[in-house]
Amino acid sequence: MTNKTLPVGGKVSFEQLKQINDHKAEYWSARDLQPLLGYSQWRRFEDAIKRAITSCEQSGNNPDYHFAGAGKPITGGKGAVQVVGDYQLSRFACYLIAQNGDPRKPEIANAQKYFAIQARRQEVSDALAADMERLEIRKQTSEEFKALSGAAREAGVQDRMFGIFHDAGYKGLYAGLGNEAIKQRKGIAKKENLMDRMDTTELAANQFRMTQTRDKLAREQASNQSQAIRTHETVGREVRDAIQRIGGTMPENIPSAEHISTVKKRIKNTPPLLELEEKDAKGLIGKAEE
């Protein structure tokens, strides 16, 4: 590991949060680490932990050596003590959580730069890293699509108008082209989901469009479907204008990418391996088993 402190939020650094267990091994409390990595909700941070556990298994290392369930006493406003779920994490576990965290969070981005595990590793090729990034943002975009649909329903958009509502966002972002017109322009089959054929850059632009539309609908308290549809198209157009100002490629000019299912299969068939040095591989077990 580097000797520099992890430049994350708050006044306490990553190294300052380190504790020592009964095995004389260093560990970190997940509850302590959560705010440093930019997570306000334990549920979402625990999702990242679970992804890291899966990554640990896929890397050929034993998760039991790096992730230990625990309880953490929390004192309430009136002095009442409540024990909440927690994890004791090895240094390697913290590294994996950073790698599996939300890349949109600057704290996660900084953590990913900070961690340098002392390990001999099978380098993940640039192509595989790009595949993993695209698959993750495709998952995030799918979730954002669902969230935007919920916001549209709350704003008064009726089920039969959902196609028009979502098309409005595309038309704003793609210079008047709706879902079907975009697929025709890019040579994508009608039966395919457009987002399954978007590359990472195009997915990110659409995710941003949906996120900003959802926030704008809530902020302006949209109360009818006409307003909601206009809002979606307006936000799409503003995102397009921003791309143009910075000299980016217009989304309708980005070639279609291979289907996301192909990417998913490729990642599944080529899991990255991490062969840790002996002292790191033991993680939370530490010196007790030496």
Q: What angle do CA 179, 209, 250 make, to 5 degrees?
A: 65
| In 176-259, alpha helices (H) | 179-186, 200-219, 225-245
Distance between CA atoms of 288 and 290, rounded to whole angstroms? 6
Q: Are the C-beta atoms of residues 239 and 251 closer than 8 Å to each other? A: no
Residue among 222, 218, 216 nearest 155 (CA) = 222
Residues 172 and 208 in one domain: yes
Q: Which residues contact 49 (CB under 8 A, 6 or more apart)?
A: 30, 67, 87, 89, 97
Residues 112 and 141 in one domain: no
* Whether the model pTM is above 0.75: no
Q: Is 60 exposed, middle or buried (0-12, 13-18, 19+ CB in 10 A)?
A: middle
Distance between CA atoms of 39 and 98, rounded to whole angstroms? 12
Residues 84 and 177 in one domain: no
Q: What is the b/e burial string over 126-143, where b = at least 16 CB atoms within 10 angstroms of the residue's CB?
A: eebeebbebbbbbebbbe
Low-confidence residues of the chain, pLDDT below 50?
1-10, 117-123, 288-290
Q: What is the pLDDT of residue 233?
A: 97
Residues 256 and 136 in one domain: yes
Q: What is the pLDDT of residue 8?
A: 43
Gyration radius of the chain over CA positions: 22
Q: Which residues contact 183 (CB under 8 A, 6 or more apart)?
A: 189, 190, 192, 194, 197
β-bridge mates for residue 88, sequence order: 29, 68
**Residue 8 in domain:** no
Residue 102: CB atoms within 10 A of its CB come to 17
Residues 48 and 160 in one domain: no
Residues 159 and 85 in one domain: no
Residues 282 and 253 in one domain: no
Upper half-sphere CA count for residue 74 (Cβ side, 13 Å): 12
Q: What is the pLDDT of residue 111?
A: 81
Q: Which domain holds residue 21?
A: 15-122+272-289
Q: What is the pLDDT of residue 47?
A: 93
Residues 88 and 111 in one domain: yes
